[in-house]
Structure 1
Amino acid sequence: MNKKDFEVIIIGGSYAGLSTAMALGRSLRTTLVIDAGNPCNRQTPHSHNFLTQDGSTPNEISEIAQDQVKKYNSVHFYNGLVVSGKKVKNGFEVTTHKGDSFTAKKMVFASGIKDLMPSIKGFSECWGISVVHCPYCHGYEIRNTKTAIIANGDRAFHLASLINNLTDQITVLTNGKHDFDETQIKKLERHNIKIIDKKVLEIEHVNGHLEKVVFYDGSKESFEYAYASIPFEQNSHLPKMLGCNLTDQGHIEVNAMQKTTQEGIFACGDNSSMMRSVATAVYGGNLTGAMINHELTQESF
């Protein structure tokens, strides 16, 4: 790529990044999208709860989005991984793993998050297929099935309250001693939600489709699906390198306009929102693009 200087650099070319790029492209802003092609939902068979694309595969949605964004000539694409970044006189400079450097007035992190898999054999193979994170994204499709919740405490209780409307066959697997208070236990009992507080050893599955959960004591329990709440970390170390604050939960801190705590840097998508869905990523990206265009306009008009 010959061009090295842009108005905006977007790190991450999934739904949030592409949505940002479309908004900027439609305002004729010179924009570079840098993406390594490794989205966190790559194992998910279908995406749901996104109007006009309900039931499409994540890849199908991405391909349509890329084709549409590429029609805007001011938007450029670079396949690679950004390894470093710094503030410079008129904005920011980033360097990729190939040694290429680019500069821009504004920067967007649409780099997503990385799920940290527990040490449960078979878990990662099932993640996004039969072990899922969100009832809004997957709940309708797995309704009325024998369902586990692999979580503890308030998070498990919250999931149970949501899933209770979708199936009456729920068991909470706390993976050790449960952390519910007396009120929570009474509510779970009232809704016939069982608690198993044994430590989970393994998930038996066929090509990612859960069949049984195996506990350390050798006992097994059959399930068709499971919800799980697992920790995550930022997919990119650059936001922290550039001084962006993180929330207590680990998301990039942004205001209502998607601005981070560092002037000129924006963030959108899973890295800065508790709502992990295609629809919210697209919304966040669209807003980000509009806000950046507004800033650039105010600075030059």
Structure 2
Amino acid sequence: MLLDCVIIGGGPSGLNASLVLGRARKKVILFDENKLRNAVTHESHGFITRDGIKPSEFKRIAREDLMNYPDITMENQRVTDIKKENDAFVVRAEDGRRFRSRKVLLATGLKDELPAIEGIHQFYGKTLFSCPFCDGWELRDRPLVLISEDNRAFHMAKMISNWSNNLAVCTNGNLIFSEEQKEILIRKQIRVFDDEIAALEGESGRLAKIKFRNGNELFRAGGFVTTGLTQAAPFAEVLGCKMNNMGGIETDTLGRTNIEGVYASGDNSILAPSQLIIAASEGSKAAIGIVHDLVNEDF
């Protein structure tokens, strides 16, 4: 059987794309190996009617929605290979089965790479986060820290100051601010610590203090960290998709890549903020683009 679309990735983008395609009566298989970027997150925010929902609960409800549409099949396994043969994409699953499809949507998302700081993993997703729009409200008015080793720090510090006027920036030994930027932060009473960090300390996921290698300590109740971002799967590179200067997959407004028949949506592009509602909307737009192209081809 020739499918209309294979969707790789069962996060909010892939789930919403499946819904739109299923409602358009397109034959779809959604591959989901259940390795979500927000697996450490206890609550997701900013999605109207779903504010504060657990990611696992969001996914359960979404999959229930998809079961209403007979043309959607869900495969709880990993895709191991994709290649194009003649006019179709051949997708190989982990169990060895091969599926042929007219289109492929990459909704595989990104992986976060945390700075190599002792103790950071026990706080990430509990009191240390990457997105102030997602978690700033819960940390409002507390003494916060921003841990950043690159030039995103200045922008992030400005954003985080919206939720707390007690903010310190730790660069872990990296000199990333210009003199002008430092002066601006000082005027806003945002302290900058350029010392190397020895460890983060606290209990039960609650950050309490940052210990520096020079022996100094900084007491903080939570905060944010800028993470490294890499593609969670190699398929964009395998298929020859063009990447943008941030390492994301380059697409048009409807998710089309430079490879005909290959689409991408969600966090893949790295250009949009990583929020549940944005990823879901990107999946919807890409699905609309796929239906548009399928219909035009059939005419």
Task: Settle same-fold status: TM greater than 0.5.
Answer: yes
Residues in 2 aligned to 1:261 and 1:96: alpha-carbon distance in whole angstroms: 24
Name 1:178's counterpart in structure 2: 175
Deviation at 1:125, TM superposition (A): 2.4
Name 2:236's counterpart in structure 1: 239
1:112-137 per-position Cα deviation (integer Å, ceiling 9, x unaligned): 11111222122122222211111111
Residues in 2 aligned to 1:131 and 1:277: alpha-carbon distance in whole angstroms: 16
Name 1:254's counterpart in structure 2: 251
Greater shift in the superposed pair: 158-167 or 206-215: 206-215
Residues in 2 aligned to 1:273 and 1:182: alpha-carbon distance in whole angstroms: 29
Residues in 1 aligned to 2:100 and 2:270: alpha-carbon distance in whole angstroms: 27
Name 1:35's counterpart in structure 2: 32
TM-score in terms of structure 2 length: 0.96
Deviation at 1:202, TM superposition (A): 1.5
1:103-159 per-position Cα deviation (integer Å, ceiling 9, x unaligned): 100000000111112221221222222111111111111110110010145311101
Which consecutive segments of 4 or more residues in structure 1 shift more than 3 A? Answer: none
Greater shift in the superposed pair: 17-26 or 90-99: 90-99
Name 1:68's counterpart in structure 2: 65
Deviation at 1:169, TM superposition (A): 0.6
Residues in 1 aligned to 2:223 and 2:63: alpha-carbon distance in whole angstroms: 32
Q: What is the DSSP-based 3-state SS (H/G/I as helix, E as strand, rest coil) of the residue aligned with 2:26?
A: coil
Q: 1:288 aligns with which of 283, 286, 289?
A: 286
Residues in 2 aligned to 1:239 and 1:177: alpha-carbon distance in whole angstroms: 32
Q: What is the DSSP-based 3-state SS (H/G/I as helix, E as strand, rest coil) of the residue aligned with 1:289?
A: helix
Deviation at 1:163, TM superposition (A): 1.4
Count residues with an aligned counterpart: 298
Greater shift in the superposed pair: 81-90 or 209-218: 209-218
Residues in 1 aligned to 2:289 and 2:55: alpha-carbon distance in whole angstroms: 26
Name 1:210's counterpart in structure 2: 207
Residues in 2 aligned to 1:128 and 1:247: alpha-carbon distance in whole angstroms: 28
Greater shift in the superposed pair: 122-131 or 227-236: 122-131
Q: 2:94 aligns with which of 89, 94, 97?
A: 97
1:143-196 per-position Cα deviation (integer Å, ceiling 9, x unaligned): 101100101453111011111121111000011142211211111010100011
Is 1:113 paired with 2:107? no
Name 1:46's counterpart in structure 2: 43
Residues in 1 aligned to 2:205 and 2:94: alpha-carbon distance in whole angstroms: 32
Q: State the identity as a percent.
A: 31
Deviation at 1:253, TM superposition (A): 0.8
Q: 1:154 aligns with which of 151, 163, 171?
A: 151
Q: 2:137 aligns with which of 135, 140, 148?
A: 140
TM-score in terms of structure 1 length: 0.96
Residues in 2 aligned to 1:214 and 1:282: alpha-carbon distance in whole angstroms: 39
Residues in 2 aligned to 1:70 and 1:273: alpha-carbon distance in whole angstroms: 30
Residues in 2 aligned to 1:121 and 1:100: alpha-carbon distance in whole angstroms: 42
RMSD: 1.3
Name 2:20's counterpart in structure 1: 23
Name 1:226's counterpart in structure 2: 223
Q: What is the DSSP-based 3-state SS (H/G/I as helix, E as strand, rest coil) of the residue aligned with 2:138?
A: coil
Deviation at 1:54, TM superposition (A): 0.7
Residues in 2 aligned to 1:262 and 1:153: alpha-carbon distance in whole angstroms: 32
Is 1:192 paired with 2:193? no
Residues in 2 aligned to 1:232 and 1:135: alpha-carbon distance in whole angstroms: 17
Greater shift in the superposed pair: 286-295 or 173-182: 173-182
Residues in 1 aligned to 2:122 and 2:90: alpha-carbon distance in whole angstroms: 37
Residues in 2 aligned to 1:99 and 1:210: alpha-carbon distance in whole angstroms: 45
Q: What is the DSSP-based 3-state SS (H/G/I as helix, E as strand, rest coil) of the residue aligned with 1:103?
A: strand
